[in-house]
Amino acid sequence: MLHLYDQIAEATAAIRKAWNRKPHAGIILGTGLGGLVDRIQVEASLDYDTIPHFLKSSVASHAGRLVCGTLEGLPVVVMQGRFHMYEGYPLSAITLPVRVFKALGAELLVVSNAVGGLNPFYSTGDIMVIDDHINLMGANPLIGINDDRLGPRFPDMCAPYDRRLGDVALEIARQQNFPCHKGVFVAVSGPNLETRAEYRFLRNIGADAVGMSTVPEVITAVHAGLRTIGLSIVTDICLPDCLRPVDVAEIIAVANAAEPRLTALVTGLLKYEAATKA
């Protein structure tokens, strides 16, 4: 981890040349969820390959762009596409943008993803507010010599997701009359989808949804001292006794169709943050 401090400084300096505001929130948009940027009053947009030490996303549905501007009256920086362990990148590099958000002055991390639903009461297109997570990726972004300038050696994970914001998100969904659950997210490395036995195991250990991202960013956010809210779109149902092959194009289509609901939650949360901050 000792190499990260200088990398964070270099990436932060490059962004500040294009956009010299202090963001309230950093937002990470996952598969099929990049359309939220249409709601932003864009003040700067940087391709990842123009930011020192940012990785290149190899996933077709991820634009690979950092968008800076104003959303619901608050300054934000938005990753339109993220990086994944299955692309072959180390977790310390994957999570570097989270540390850059913190260095820019952000207080809040909003992270979204597309997930497979393990809970039999979930349906495709539903949204889940992440209440807690299980890390089965076989790795951790904090492994290595700790840099105390970035965070503590042993960060506490008793409440990695902001419970107050989670309750606000559920209330927004109730007011707008769309399905929204609170549940446990389990992260695996991917890129293959799981076997029937693996889905059964993941459900038995307490997971409501499964995906291939998010947990490394949240661990890093806790280490850095950022509040975090996690939102998942259920794009397919993973019930082991009635499993069928997954069509990736179908997953992206479901995520795109559910995106207005995700946007309603994110904008509603930022409205709440703006009102609380005022």
82-120 residue pLDDT tens: 999 999 999 999 999 999 999 999 999 999 999 999 999
pLDDT of 251 reads 86
Q: Read off the pLDDT of each residue in 160-172 and give the average, rounded to a whole number.
A: 98
C-alpha distances out from residue 97 to 10, 31, 38, 272, Å = 12, 17, 21, 24
CATH number reported for the structural domain that contains residue 37 in this entry? 3.40.50.1580
Confidence band, pLDDT 50/70/90 cuts, at residue 277: confident
CA angle, 256 as apex, 79 and 99 as ends, to 5°? 15
Total structural domains in the chain? 1
| AA letter at 8 | I
pLDDT above 70 (res 63): no
pLDDT of 32 reads 62
Check whether the bond before 191 is cis (ω within 30° of 0): yes
pLDDT above 60 (res 278): yes
Q: Distance between CA 244 and CA 241 in Å, rounded? A: 9
| AA letter at 236 | D
Q: Distance between CA 37 and CA 29 in Å, rounded? A: 9
What is the maximum span of the chain, computed from C-alpha positions, in angstroms? 54
Query: Average per-residue pLDDT in the chain?
Result: 94
pLDDT above 60 (res 132): yes
The tokens describing 137, both together, are 């990726």
Name the residue range of residue 124's domain.
Answer: 4-277
